[in-house]
Chain A
Amino acid sequence: MAIKVYIPGPFRVATNNSSKIEGYGDDVGEVLKDVGRRYPGIKALIFDSKGEVADHVCVFINGRDINTLQNNGTKVTEGDEVSIVPAMSGGAVPFTEEQIRRYSRHIILPQVGGKGQRKLLGAKVLLIGAGGLGSPTALYLAAAGVGTLGIVDFDTVDISNLQRQILHHNHDVGRLKVTSAQESIADVNPDVQVIPHALALTSENALEIIRQYDIVVNGCDNFATRYLVNDACVFLNKPLVDGSIFLFEGQASVFMPGRGCYRCLYPAPPPPGMVPSCQEAGVLGVLPGIVGCVQAIETIKLILGIGEPLAGRLLLFDALSMDFRVMRLRKDPSCPVCGDNPTITELIDYEEFCGAPITVG
């Protein structure tokens, strides 16, 4: 049976620049072997010395990784499309000795392995805020080897931040948070490229910034940014890992494209002043540590494609009773942004939507 095989740009030298070729076989393994026979250059690129698909190459069938199906034994039928995708940036480059040692506890996990570690190194994650939530998320994602971390934060470090914002240190007081974050992350893992965005996210710049990343982690303190980031992620089809905290309590959830959004959970923000900010009411310093780590775990699961994401669920954490509960969360068909008949199709004025002035948390 003839099956369409997608060839990635870097491999097209071996296929006379064709992006789609045909392979014959009843399962993925046979199709790949057939392609290898007819295009010897491809054979050298896809297979390792033992004739297995090399670790730095992922094979998808109709968009699904064959590792999650029956690997090479996955059956193919007419109309299926097999895609060959080399690991993202640096994927084809072998790990350095230092990387093998650094990531050894990941690499020996069957659910991560060398392939997973390369996915982490190739991933681009945007953190909204380098504060209470963003700090633990950034440090753990950096330690895990997430290759590119964008950080949006316009503020400078204040001594009152140090009670919970563990990216920043005493000597950072007065410095830009993104600068301090960049240094802390470099100290943890020099493999990580930090892209500082020392600005306030607005309806004018949000799409342009978020577009550059694979996953967005929201750790902002106010409703206007929360709705702005949500809407931008819906429009750009980006997964959003959401977290929020207040006093001793936290909430977290993952919004996957097409499966509901923050507006499905809370259609509108409270009027200004109704809900006090953390600055007004206080927050337990360790609390964002828990919620931010939940966000970091969810981000890593999404990158690796393992486990069940916290999608369609709202995690509630109460530090005082040390209680985790999970509520069901549904996509709202009448959601103005992601519902069946959306009425909001571009970014709006979020300060107006949330009512001015915005409280600082």
Chain B
Amino acid sequence: MSVEVRVTSLLQKAIGGAKSVSAQGDTISALLDNLESSYPGFKSNVLADNGELHRFVNIYKNNEDIRYLGNLDTPVGSGDVISILPALAGGSTSCRP
């Protein structure tokens, strides 16, 4: 099954510069594996060494956070849009602790 995966600019480099890419799989996990095989190194941007999602990265199925669905086992189907969103920090340069 082919599913659209959208990424923010931080991850575009990892998928050849595109904003979105089509991936195969019927769970989030399978989509990430599929992306890893097409773009080696991709998964390290999203998953920690223990195989879990980085705590500063969220994945949404349509507009719902997969942490509240089935995490990496969340099923996906055609028509679903997956968004991968790492935290952003930018703003003012001068309020550091």
Interface residue ranges, A against B (CB under 8 Å): 128-134, 152-155, 161, 165, 177, 200-203, 218-226, 228, 243-251, 265-270, 275, 277-279, 283, 288, 314, 316, 318, 320-321, 325-330, 332, 350-351, 358, 360-361
Say whether B86 faces chain A, with CB atoms less than 8 Å apart: yes
Give the tally of cross-chain contacts (CB within 8 A).
Answer: 156
A350, B63: Cβ atoms closer than 8 Å: no
Q: Of B10, B85, B86, B95, which one neighbours A129 at CB under 8 angstroms?
A: B95
Cα(A344)–Cα(B80), bound, Å? 37
Nearest 6 pairs between A and B by C-beta?
Answer: A131-B92, A155-B94, A129-B92, A268-B55, A244-B88, A266-B87
Looking at A177, A267, A360, the one whose CB has the most chain B CB atoms below 10 A away is A267
Q: What range describes how many residues of B lie at the interface?
A: 20 to 34
Question: What residues on A are CB-neighbors of B93 within 8 Å?
Answer: 129, 131, 155, 161, 221, 278-279, 360-361
Say whether B73 faces chain A, with CB atoms less than 8 Å apart: no
Question: What residues on B are CB-neighbors of A266 within 8 Å?
Answer: 55-56, 58, 87
Q: Which of chain A's residues has its CB closest to B67's CB?
A: A332
Q: Of A129, A247, A329, A358, which one neighbours B65 at CB under 8 angstroms?
A: A329
B47 CB to nearest A CB, Å: 13
Say whether B9 faces chain A, with CB atoms less than 8 Å apart: yes
A152, B95: Cβ atoms closer than 8 Å: yes
B68, A316: Cβ atoms closer than 8 Å: no
B96, A223: Cβ atoms closer than 8 Å: no
B95, A154: Cβ atoms closer than 8 Å: yes
Question: What residues on B are CB-neighbors of A226 within 8 Å?
Answer: 89
B74 CB to nearest A CB, Å: 14
B35 CB to nearest A CB, Å: 18
B92, A153: Cβ atoms closer than 8 Å: yes
A288, B91: Cβ atoms closer than 8 Å: yes
B94, A154: Cβ atoms closer than 8 Å: yes
Q: Which of chain B's residues has its CB closest to A176's CB?
A: B94
B92, A327: Cβ atoms closer than 8 Å: no
Cα(A35)–Cα(B68), bound, Å? 51
Question: What residues on B are CB-neighbors of A225 within 8 Å?
Answer: 95-97
Cα(A250)–Cα(B56), bound, Å? 16
B92, A130: Cβ atoms closer than 8 Å: yes
Question: What residues on A are CB-neighbors of B54 within 8 Å?
Answer: 270
25 A-B contacts (beta carbon < 8 Å): A131-B95, A153-B92, A153-B94, A161-B93, A203-B97, A219-B91, A219-B92, A221-B93, A222-B89, A226-B89, A244-B89, A245-B90, A246-B88, A249-B88, A251-B85, A251-B88, A275-B10, A279-B93, A318-B19, A321-B19, A326-B63, A327-B63, A330-B68, A360-B93, A361-B93
Contact flags (1/0) for B28-63 with A, using CB distance below 8 Å? 000000000000000000000000001110101001
B92, A221: Cβ atoms closer than 8 Å: yes
A218, B91: Cβ atoms closer than 8 Å: yes
Question: What residues on A are CB-neighbors of B10 within 8 Å?
Answer: 246, 275
Question: What residues on B are CB-neighbors of A268 within 8 Å?
Answer: 55-56
A202 CB to nearest B CB, Å: 5
A332 CB to nearest B CB, Å: 8
Whether A361 touches B90, Cβ cut-off 8 Å, given contacts A129-B95, A267-B55, is: yes
Q: A244-B89, A246-B9, A325-B63 provided; 4 other pairs, C-beta below 8 A?
A: A153-B94, A153-B95, A200-B95, A225-B97
Say whether B22 faces chain A, with CB atoms less than 8 Å apart: no
B91, A270: Cβ atoms closer than 8 Å: no
